[in-house]
Amino acid sequence: MHTTPSRPAPAQAATTALTRYRLAVAVRSLVAIFGGYALSAACAIWLGHLLPALGMTRLDAVLTASMLAFVVHACAAIWVFAIAGTWRAAIGILVPAAVLAVGAWAYGGAA
Distance CA 103, CA 50 (A): 10
Domain definitions of the chain by residue range: 24-110
Which of these, 32, 42, 104, 45, lies nearest to 75 by C-alpha position?
A: 32
pLDDT tens-digit series, residues 13-23: 677 888 999 99
Continuous H helices in the chain: 10-30, 36-53, 58-82, 86-110
Distance CA 63, CA 58 (A): 9
Distance CA 73, CA 89 (A): 14
pLDDT tens-digit series, residues 37-63: 999 999 999 999 999 999 999 999 999
Burial class (CB in 10 A: 0-12, 13-18, 19+), 84: exposed
Q: Predicted confidence band at 3 (pLDDT cuts at 50, 70, 90)?
A: low
Q: Predicted confidence band at 11 (pLDDT cuts at 50, 70, 90)?
A: low
